[in-house]
A and B are shown apart, each in its own frame.
Chain A
Amino acid sequence: MTLLWLILIPFIGGLLCWQAERFGSMPPRWIALGTMLIELLITLGLWFQGEYHLANAGTASEALRWSMEWRVPWIPRFGIDVHLALDGLSLVLIALTGFLGMLAVLCSWNEIVKRVGFFHLNLLWILGGVVGVFLAIDLFLFFFFWEMMLVPMYFLIALWGHSGSEGRTRIRAATKFFIYTQASGLLMLVSILGLVFVHHANTGEYSFDYATLMQTSLSESTAMWLMLGFFVAFAVKLPVVPVHGWLPDAHAQAPTAGSVDLAGILLKTAAYGMLRFALPLFPEASQAFAPVAMTLGVIGIFYGAILACGQQDMKRLIAYTSIAHMGFVLIGIYAGTELALQGVVVMMVAHAFSAAGLFILSGQLYERLNTRDMRQMGGLWGRLGSLPGFSLCFVAASLGMPGTANFLGEFLILFGSFPVAPGFVVVASFGFVLAAVYSLLLMQRVYFGPAQGEGVFADLDRREYLMMLSLVGLVLLFGLYPQPLLDTTGAAMGEVQRLFGVVSQSTTLLLTGAP
């Protein structure tokens, strides 16, 4: 029941925000903040109470181990249930959703002044949909939430976004985002249905249940086609390079809160989908497909990094760095060793913090300078109070400086992937050089060089300071002491690794802290 409440709370909070607008523009903000705080507290409560590292790869060979589970029939005709379940991976990602949700509310405190209630309705409904995605293990329900969260995101970009240069209006960006993700989502629906009907042909009963469908025996070519359906849907959302076209536009045009949600959480739903569904449901096909996926990952790393160097718009630059970072995630997922998968989790969390930090910073710059064009910036160090200092922290995190969580994620991914795919790792490592280039370019263009004007802008106020400080704190915390994170997701990742069927690396013992 707690799991259902985790999904319902944001939806109900959103409706309250909408109705609270009649009392002024402040109540919706406070309600939204409170809603996300409750969400975060419940998740943290679950974290401290529950046991998430009990089921380890060896012992959980028969049934899947969920820490919590909730199930009621929904559409009996097709064997569809409302089936929610929680394990370490979903727990971490939901906690992340709650935290970034609070940040999204906070960073739009001054930015959004029009239709505040409706804005928060959309914001909270996105978060509700995302939580649903992280909890659903009935494939129909998963698809339901997967598609549903697009609608409020569309509104967020289309109604509160910024219109960039001509031909790049916010509505266009929003539509592009929607069509990309929805059309690829339908491919996933076809794959889901294909899987269900194969299962039906084998056993004579309909089921959309994760554990049941996992047992389905598929012919090699069928498995490959079905896996591709899932992969395309997740690849669009991640994004993987040939299908990334929506991302820079959506990021550049979205309001700050929208960018934070997109980069911090929505991209993670794709990685989550791969870990939870694409790999375990089609292990052999995924194994066969792994070289292609890793190649795409490597291409993404370089493509994202090179294009990031050429951007003038600050948010577009950060968007392209996301593509590069997600390239690492893709490599880690398809390497499939436990170490690499652990790295993927750390990387997802770290990227959520650093990208959210950078997007919030560019939002704050925009509030002060009214531009995101880096050609009109320069020489801002010393004129913005403590803002440049925080920028330096996040830029350092983004380029993977040791001590930050990003470094740890990238390191684990590359280290874990090396035994499986040394070639890819060697090539991908050069991505770090480019990461340093674009990160320093960002610092240089915005904060150093000749100043474009006189005078000092407003320093960060308490709200902004608090947001930045908490993000920096978390980046450093997980960079220096990632063990709690690794412990929590260890069992879930071990399960994925076991299903994916790669020989476990002996080094994992070292990291998961098992005796």
Chain B
Amino acid sequence: MTLTATQLLALMPLILVCATAIGVMLAIAWRRHHTGIATFTAAGLNLALLALIGVWFMAPLTTPLLAIDGLALFSAALILVAALACTTLAHAYLAHYGGPREEFYLLLLCATAGGLVLSASTHLATLFFGLELVSMPLYGMLAYTYRERRSLEAGVKYLVLSAAATAFLLFGMALLFAETGHLDFAGLVSGLGDDVGVWGLAGAAMMLIGLGFKLSVVPFHMWTPDVYEGGPGPAATFLATASKVAVFTVLLRLVMASPAFQASALHEVLAVLAVLTMLVGNLLAVTQSNLKRLLGYSSIAHFGYLLTALVIGDGLSVEATGVYLVTYMLTTLGAFGVVTLISSPYGGSDAAALHHYRGLFWRRPYLTAVLTITMLSMAGIPFTAGFIGKFYIVALGVEAGRWWLVGAVIAGSAIGLFYYLRVMVTLYLAEAGMQRRDAPEDWAVQAGGLMVLVVAVLVIVLGIYPAPMIDGVRVVSAMMLG
């Protein structure tokens, strides 16, 4: 089967990102210039975003290995925005880094391309290819400041555990292939039929383990806090936003499409995992005194909430997933953005201990306002986007009558409040005479600072007037469900 011109056009965003990556590589070979490379990267990503708008009018389209449908475009937009945000943060963060700075953007672009492939994949081959293309550059990004012990540790840890998860994923794919003789999702669906059988179920379960690892679903969550803590700010931001959005999208696709994942046994397992993930993530976050670790655990809990949507898996759940992913991504970008800005420019390990943030309000009121808004949003308080996300999750649970899940969401949120409030109040306490790190004086006029402010405003605006977001997501989910 050959590609037609329309199909090639539909892949334009992906092609643009890849082209930018090659361009960056050549530019680095020619001459190193940090700001230039960062600008070039941002321009490439912006072009890809613009191209998305064009592709929107052509969708839905299917190529042999990728589906350019509403879901793919939606998550592509999220991934590209997250990548852009990471670019701006990386520029601030790496400004005074001693080693080579430009390669970070190369890795970032490769990972972005991987994310785009992954979220559009309708074939196990592209799924695997995309997943590895996201993960491989991330090893490098996490260990980028390799003279820091923790950064190196984060990179290596992610590498080793990720490899183990990949082995599970491949084994699962192999089992599904052995059972059906197909690798594309549609073929899997028809091959498995209604009666899934033991091997099909085992294959699906193993794939679930592999993907669950990337999403840090309990009990595959052990790596998350360490990697978040050790990795440099921009890399951790990318891991927490773009990579997770891409993996969740493909998981959603699998679960919605394939009967193997809708088998009731697997469904119950998913439900138990969701409850465990919410509770464990929130409980473990309570005792943390390191903001990045705390955010790591909180992201575990958030994916617990999101799994609810997968478990229920009916009409409203695509919409709920979409809304929740948008709010989660904005909020996480804001929170990690502030941490990265406080740690910028690079000066050893990141400023992540909570006491670094004590009394931040009296020095940096607007930056503190951003962090406060994101914390409130994560806790799901009204007037922030996070509330709309949580509203959807609770609504979904209530509509489906899954009271255990609803109860767990409520218990999780109550526990979650405890640590979000702790972070928040720390920001406003009187300053202690402790050693502290601070954002540069002119943070607000730099790209990273602007990005963070825009994100905070968006969180508030979408919290007060969510109708546009909801309408957008509905169009996407309508397109996907046909």
Contact = CB atoms under 8 A, between A and B. Distances in A.
Contact of A190 (B379, B406, B428, B467): B406
Interface in B172-218: none
B437 interface: no
Interface stretch (B46-54, B232-240, B324-332, B411-419): B411-419
Nearest to A75: B467
Contact of B467 (A74, A148, A174, A178): A74
A468 interface: no
Contacts of B406: 190
Interface stretch (A100-108, A180-188, A458-466): A180-188
A183 B418 contact: no
Nearest to A18: B365
A158 interface: yes
A150 B410 CA distance: 17
B398 A193 contact: yes
A151 interface: yes
Nearest to B398: A193
A496 interface: no
A226 B391 CA distance: 17
A155 to B, nearest CB: 7
Given A77-B467, A77-B474, A190-B394, A147 B410 contact: no
Given A178-B417, A182-B417, A148 B382 contact: yes
Contacts of B395: 193, 197
Given A144-B382, A154-B421, A179-B417, A189 B391 contact: yes
Contacts, number: 75
B410 A186 contact: yes
B425 A158 contact: yes
B425 A174 contact: yes
A170 to B, nearest CB: 10
A76 interface: yes
Residue with the highest number of chain A CB atoms closer than 10 Å, among B391, B406, B465, B474:
B391
Interface in A149-174: 150-151, 154-155, 158-159, 171, 174
A197 B399 contact: yes
B163 interface: no
B425 A171 contact: yes
Nearest to B407: A190
B32 interface: no
Please report whether the interface of chain B is mostly helix, strand, loop or mixed according to DSSP.
Answer: helix
A94 B453 CA distance: 35
B466 interface: yes
Interface residues of A, number: 29
B33 interface: no
A186 B394 contact: yes
A175 interface: yes
Contact of B418 (A143, A179, A189): A179
A190 B387 CA distance: 14
B471 interface: yes
A501 interface: no
A378 interface: no
B470 interface: yes
A148 B381 contact: yes
A74 B425 CA distance: 32
A194 interface: yes
B413 A183 contact: yes
A194 B406 CA distance: 11
Given A175-B421, A190-B410, 6 more contacts: A77-B467, A155-B425, A178-B417, A178-B421, A179-B418, A183-B414
27 contacts: A74-B465, A74-B467, A76-B467, A77-B471, A143-B382, A144-B387, A147-B387, A150-B381, A151-B376, A159-B428, A174-B425, A175-B417, A175-B418, A175-B421, A175-B422, A179-B418, A182-B379, A182-B413, A182-B414, A183-B413, A186-B410, A190-B394, A193-B394, A193-B395, A193-B398, A193-B399, A194-B398
